[in-house]
Every structure is written in C-alpha cells, then in structure tokens.
Amino acid sequence: MCGIIAYVGDKYCKDIIINGLKRLEYRGYDSAGIAILIQNEKVIDKEQQDKEKEKNQNKDNNKNKDELIELIGNEPGNSSAVKILTAKQAGKIKDLEELLQGQNFDSHIGIGHTRWATHGAPTQINAHPHSDCIGKIVVVHNGIIENYAELKEELIQKGHKFISETDTEVLPHLLEEYKDGDFLLAMQKLIKRIKGSGAIVALNSDFPDEIVAARIASPLIIGIGKDGNFVASDMPAVLEHTRNFIIVNDFETIRLKKDSIEIFDIDGKLIQRDPFKVNWSITSAEKSGYEDFMLKEIFEQPFGIKETMRGRLIDGNLQFEELNMTEEQIKNLNKIQIIACGTSSHAALLGKQLIERWARIPVEVEVSSEYRYKDPIVEKNCLFIAITQSGETIDTLAAIREAKSKGAKIVAITNVVGSTVARESDSVIYTHAGPEVGVCATKTFTAQIIVMYLMALYFGKITGHIDKEKYAKIIEELEFIPNKIQLILNDADKIKKIADHLYKYRTFLFLGRLSGLPIALEGALKLKEISYIHAEGYAGGEMKHGPIALTDTNTTVVGIVPKDFVYEKMLSNIEEVKARNATILTIATEGDDEIQKYSNYVFYIPSTIEELYGILTIIPLQLLAYYIAKNLGRNVDQPRNLAKSVTVE
C-alpha cells in the first residue's frame, strides 16, 4: 500500500518529492519521509532559510527537529563526498513538509515515501527511507519482505546494525553487502534474495547521479519529464510534470539518470520498452475547489459514466471489441465467474443479476480472497472476469493467477491503464472514470456498473435472450442516466439536511432487494468506512431471519425502495422495521407519495426502468455517507486503517 516517488533532473527535488507524496497520500498516510543527496551544502535561499528557522525557534516541536532531520553519511567508513539529508515524521505529509521548511538545499536527486504500516508501528523510526550502516545507501519500499526475519538474522551475524522494526530495513543492508561493482548490480542481486513483494527505490551517495529501483509485484511506473525523470507508485504523483510513462514489470530493475532510463530483465539484460501517453489532466487529480476528493469524485460521476459509455455505445449499438471474443464463443459460454473485492464485488453482484436476466448465462461471484484458496474448478467455456478499480489489489491478482494456471482466459475491468491486473489479463475493459484519489470508491463504482450494464446487454443480444424492443428501450434509457445522476447531485443539499439529523445514530441497516441488495451492501460499506458507524447491508426479506432483532429506537434503517420489480415486497419489509421503532430513510422514485407513510425521511430519485435503478440509488447513499462522516469530523479522503490500493494480503 505505501506510496513512492523519486526524481532525478535539473530542478530542485525537495518540492517535487513533497508534492508527489501529497498526491500519493491516498496510498498510506501514517508516516512519511524523504531523502535527498546533497552534493554541497549550498542553500538555495539562505535568507528565507534563516527566517524560517527563526520562526520555528519558538515552536515546541522544534526541539526534536534535529532528530527528525539528519544529514547522514558522516559515519566511519563512509568516504563519499556526497551526503544524504533524510527527514522522517510520523503523521501526514503536511507534517513532513512543515519539518522541512527552511531546508532548501541545492539538490536534484531524491526519494520520498508515504507509509501504510505493515511491520512495525507508524513511528518516526519505522518511517522510510531506511539506511545502511554507514549512511551511504537509503531505500524506500512498498510491499512486504516475507523472508525478512531470516535475512535480518543473517545480516546481524555479519555485523549489520538495525534500528527499526520494519521488514524494509533489510534492503539497504543487503545492498550494502552487495556493494562491490555498480549499484544496479547490487539491486539485481538483492531481488533474487527476497521473497514477497516490493517496489524498491534506492539512492547511494557513491553514485550521486542515479536512482536504482526494482519491482516485484508492487506497482512502479517511470515518468519521462522534460527536465528529468521520475519513478513512482502511481501516475498522478507526477502528472504535473509529465504524461509520458513506462510501466516497470515484475523482476525488472531500472537505472534512472537525468537524461537516461535503462530497464533490465531478471538476467540483467537491457530491455527496450516504448513509453505511452495518458490523457489524464492534472486538474482531474486535484480537488478543483471541492472540500474533499470524495465529494469531487461523487460529483464527477455523470462525466465518468459518459466517458465509460463513449466508444462502446454508438448510435444505439454496442461495441465490445476489447473483449476479444467472437459471437460463437459468447454463445458457447456456459458460465461466467466474476472475482473482485469490496466495492468492486458489489458491482460484480449487480452484474450477475443483469447478465443472468438478459443473457441467461449463469454467473458466480466470489470475493478474490476466498476464491484463491478454494482450489477452484475452472470449467471449459467459462469466462473469468476480474473487477478492480486500481488493478493492483493483491488478492484479485492472486485469484487471476490461480485461475490462469488452470487454463482460464481472463477479462479485466479496471480504471488504471497499465496496472498489473490489466497486464496479466487476456483482455481489458477500461472504465474511464479518471483518477480516483479518495480512498472510498465512488466514481469507479458507477463506471464499473455501467460496464456491467453494457456487457450484460451485449451478451443478451448475442445469445438472443433479450427481446429487441426491450434492448432498444434499455439502451435509450442508459443514455439518460448521466443526466439523471446530475439531477440527484443537484439535490445534494437535501441529503445533507437528512444527514444532519441522522449522524447521531450508532446503527444503520441498509435494506434492498434484487438490484437494491448490492446497493444496500455498498451503501453500508460507504458509511462504515468513512464514518466508522456500524452499518450492515441486508436483503429486505432476510430481516425476519435474524437482523430484525437489532431494530429499536437507536437504529436507522435505510430502505432502497424504487419502483422496480420488488417495490411492494420492500414496502412490507420497511413496515416490519417501522413497527419496531426504527427511524426510516427511504430512497424512492419521484412521484411515489405512498412511501411517505412508511418513512421519517424520503429522498426522491428520477424514475427509470426497473433494471437501471441500481446506478441511481447508490448516489444518495454515497452522499449520505459523506455528509454523516463530515458531521462527525472524519477525514473522508483518508479514513483510518484504509488505503486506496490493497497490495498486501
């Protein structure tokens, strides 16, 4: 999970790295650190530095500053003229930035890290970068070194000194062991010794004009800039400098200088790889006046949906060339297996209903973390679909590998071009939601749902199970969906007012049936992950089999009750909880006056056809979670204990 950025070039590196870390903070935010090479101790702006020092003199935390910022490399045995400035801090990037105020050294090469702790608490000592014994080598790392205990023991026997509780600290010491020859060679030896996962980036004061890096199963990209080059965990970190990227693959090592990029395979052979260009803009990775990324991303949904439909829904016809499947192959499918985690698994559950209804192909949905360990049966003529917004979720990746090893052909649905899942799949359907920075998935979810709608219709048409009129009607209605979502967003204030009343409740039950069920699960997930209130999603009809015992005056029930196939059934379920004194919020179709009798609060959505309500009903639930969390003073973009892409098991 963690985020990494490194830069080598003509510009001063400190601010480039700090700004890059801010854009990566969604990956981990419990501590952060930076290391820059100092060729000479010339300060860029001495006057400014003195002023800031003076200003900081009175601050309490200033007494610790010397411990937090260190010029390392003065240790006995280090003959290098170049020194390394490191600064590490528990807390957010802004704390690190404050710490570094006034440290304006003339440095053009550096690395930075924002951490999501796996081994060792989120303390200053455990924050990255970590260094070798004499302060020549510094390393940042995203991943887990599974054999670190054994490596640490071996290194201690050889006299290496460790100071942190992290698995990462073995890496600079291993590089120190392998220091003969050039630095890249040391990295190439290192990746053969470690088990687990890692994007590893290192600096060495003996090689002051190069960054070396390696990738084993954690994302790493190279950004090619005009005034220098970058390595980072993710493209938004460097979008303000470049849109030209190269993806680093597993077991590759790289050497980056200000005017050269070299990529090597596991055997140390130089590889040629062409860069690609992304059309994401920097404003799409910024808040653009919204208070939080999450709110901005909720409001971007009409656009993300249109973009995801673009090129696939043309003049009432569906095109799915990316699937790489002939009509014959689709007709011959006897099963579809979908795997995903979290929010993506809710899109999968909705997709199952749609594909089964319109194409009559049986669909099984399984969370990736279960699928991978169950010795799955991969049948002939079964299509395997993996849904993952980040394309990096380790459980989903492992499930794909398991299925592939048993002969499955994989179709990935992801939002990130060049992500690991995209590269390891046989075909990829990209959602075009734009970069999602808030940890809580919103616009990527609705873009996934759109892909599910389009794919189910496409399969339905080919298998001949959806009648022509119905098909045409759904397609026509789909084109109105972005505008209908916009209408809901225009009413965001109404949800805010409801949230102002409901935020004090400690238990929320979200009830839905058919398409309402995955939405109930997703609504509950949104609420719990950003507000930390206990929330569960249930099938309306299941309440009487247990959960209704929870209902009393302290419970809020959110009923998803659009005018769909199960409207009447849902009314009965809502009545049951109302009779037990729960407070009821219903999400209902405009013009439904009847629902008022059952509800303390109603939020109306525009009407659509039965099967399409899922994508409309989720919007008020995202807003509800957002406003409740804001009422409680939560950090909605960076909820506690979570990270945007889950690259550890």
Interface residues with ligand F6R (CB under 6 A) are: 341-344, 388-390, 393, 396, 440-441, 525, 529, 645-646
Strands 317-318 and 363-367: unpaired
Decide: 320 and 455 in contact? Cβ < 8 Å.
yes
Measured CA to CA, the distance from residue 100 to residue 637 in angstroms comes to 24
Element (H, E) at 626: helix 613-631
Element (H, E) at 69: strand 69-72
Measured CA to CA, the distance from residue 492 to residue 498 in angstroms comes to 10
* Residue 636 CB contacts under 8 Å (≥ 6 apart), including other chains: 292, 294, 295, 438, 440, 530, 626, 629, 630
Decide: 365 and 391 in contact? Cβ < 8 Å.
no
Decide: 608 and 409 in contact? Cβ < 8 Å.
no
199 CB neighbour count, 10 Å cutoff: 25
Find the shortest distance in angstroms from Cβ 224 to ligand F6R: 26
Find the shortest distance in angstroms from Cβ 623 to ligand F6R: 14
Measured CA to CA, the distance from residue 281 to residue 270 in angstroms comes to 32
Q: Report the Cα 219 to chain-centroid distance in Å.
A: 11
Q: How many residues does the chain have?
A: 649
Strands 583-589 and 555-561: parallel
Q: Tell me which residues are annotated as active site.
A: 2, 644
Nearer to ligand F6R, 88 or 630 (CB): 630
Nearer to ligand F6R, 177 or 637 (CB): 637
Nearer to ligand F6R, 345 or 586 (CB): 345
Nearer to ligand F6R, 187 or 439 (CB): 439
Element (H, E) at 578: helix 567-578
Residue 425 backbone dihedrals phi, psi, to 5 degrees: -100, 160
The DSSP call for residue 180 is: S
Q: Which residue is nearest to ligand F6R (CB)?
A: 342
Find the shortest distance in angstroms from Cβ 368 to ligand F6R: 8
Nearer to ligand F6R, 399 or 588 (CB): 399
259 CB neighbour count, 10 Å cutoff: 12
Listed residue (441, 430, 490, 460) closest to 611, CA to CA: 460
Nearer to ligand F6R, 137 or 422 (CB): 422
Nearer to ligand F6R, 166 or 344 (CB): 344
Both tokens of 449, joined, read 């749902």
Listed residue (277, 276, 271) closest to 253, CA to CA: 271
362 CB neighbour count, 10 Å cutoff: 14
581, exposed or middle or buried, with CB in 10 Å at 0-12, 13-18, 19+? Answer: exposed
Both tokens of 156, joined, read 């201690």
Both tokens of 315, joined, read 């003049």
Q: How many helices (H) and strands (E) does the chain have?
A: 20, 28
Nearer to ligand F6R, 242 or 645 (CB): 645
Decide: 86 and 34 in contact? Cβ < 8 Å.
yes
Nearer to ligand F6R, 229 or 645 (CB): 645
Measured CA to CA, the distance from residue 391 to residue 160 in angstroms comes to 38
Nearer to ligand F6R, 263 or 412 (CB): 412
Find the shortest distance in angstroms from Cβ 338 to ligand F6R: 12
Query: Which residues is 36 bridged to in the sheet?
Result: 85, 110
Find the shortest distance in angstroms from Cβ 363 to ligand F6R: 18
The DSSP call for residue 9 is: E
Both tokens of 344, joined, read 């993506």
Decide: 253 and 188 in contact? Cβ < 8 Å.
yes
Nearer to ligand F6R, 104 or 645 (CB): 645
Find the shortest distance in angstroms from Cβ 445 to ligand F6R: 8
Find the shortest distance in angstroms from Cβ 309 to ligand F6R: 20
Output Rg (C-alpha) for the chain, integer angstroms: 26
Both tokens of 160, joined, read 């290496």
Residue reference for tokens 């409901």: 502
